[in-house]
């Protein structure tokens, strides 16, 4: 049976803080992004007249977003150490040495590299796809900040995913 694609707009929004270590430019400094809109493309086989119930999609996406919402995102290659309930983070940027302590519950460590928008979409898209019914064979996870800034990453069950910048 042929797959069908659907597009769901403005499922939720997300706010997070991050920095890009080993990067030359403004994004090396600790900064925040506010009100990224999250959209989802879903590809799969139609079962009982729909690919997947919108209620399920909203729950799964919200659960994935809760992993990073209002948290500081760091890559695994950044110097960090968990001590008790705190995470000690340190890195060097053009403007100097950065060191801070933050409650561990406010930190999310990326599994797929540095916290670039592409990697964030990839990681959250993988979480979403893993938690959707098996008839869903792919998702396009999109985060948009304003009209011109955003990324979509497509993740398929049989592949690792491809990145499309918009």
Indicate the SS3 state at residue 23: coil
Are 55 and 72 in contact, with CB atoms under 8 Å apart?
Answer: no
Helix axes 54-65, 117-130, angle to 10 degrees: 130
Q: Break the chain down into helix, strand, coil percent, rounded to 5.
A: 20, 50, 30
Give the global pTM.
Answer: 0.88
Question: Has residue 74 got a pLDDT over 70?
Answer: yes
Is 151 within the bounds of a domain?
yes
87 falls within a domain:
no
Q: How many structural domains compose the chain?
A: 1
99 belongs to a structural domain: no
Segments of the chain assigned E as strands: 4-18, 31-44, 71-74, 79-83, 86-93, 96-103, 107-109, 136-145, 149-156, 162-165
CATH label of the domain that carries residue 130 = 3.30.479.10
40-65 mean pLDDT: 93
Range of the domain at 57: 4-77+110-165
Assigned domain for 102 exists: no
Helix (H, G, I), strand (E, B) or coil at 116: coil
Domain presence at residue 83: no
Residue 20 placed within a domain? yes
* Residue 103 included in any domain: no
Confidence category of residue 166, pLDDT binned at 50, 70, 90: very low
Rounded to an integer, the average pLDDT of 60-65 is 96
Residues 6+ apart with CB under 8 A from 8: 39, 40, 41, 42, 54, 57
């Amino acid at each position: 049976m042929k797959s069908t694609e659907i597009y769901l707009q403005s499922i939720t929004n997300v706010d997070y803080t991050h920095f890009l270590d080993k990067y030359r430019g403004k994004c090396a400094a600790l900064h925040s992004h506010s009100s990224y809109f999250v959209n989802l493309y879903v590809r799969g086989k139609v079962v009982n007249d729909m690919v997947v119930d919108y209620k399920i999609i909203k729950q799964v996406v919200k659960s994935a977003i809760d992993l990073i919402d209002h948290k500081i995102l760091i890559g695994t290659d950044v110097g960090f150490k968990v001590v008790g309930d705190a995470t000690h983070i340190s890195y060097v940027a053009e403007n100097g040495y950065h060191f801070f302590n933050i409650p561990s519950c406010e930190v999310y460590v990326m599994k797929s590299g540095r916290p670039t928008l592409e990697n964030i979409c990839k990681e959250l898209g993988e979480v979403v796809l893993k938690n959707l019914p098996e008839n869903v064979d792919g998702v396009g996870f999109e985060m948009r900040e304003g009209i011109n800034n955003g990324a979509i990453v497509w993740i398929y069950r049989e592949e690792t995913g491809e990145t499309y910048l918009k």
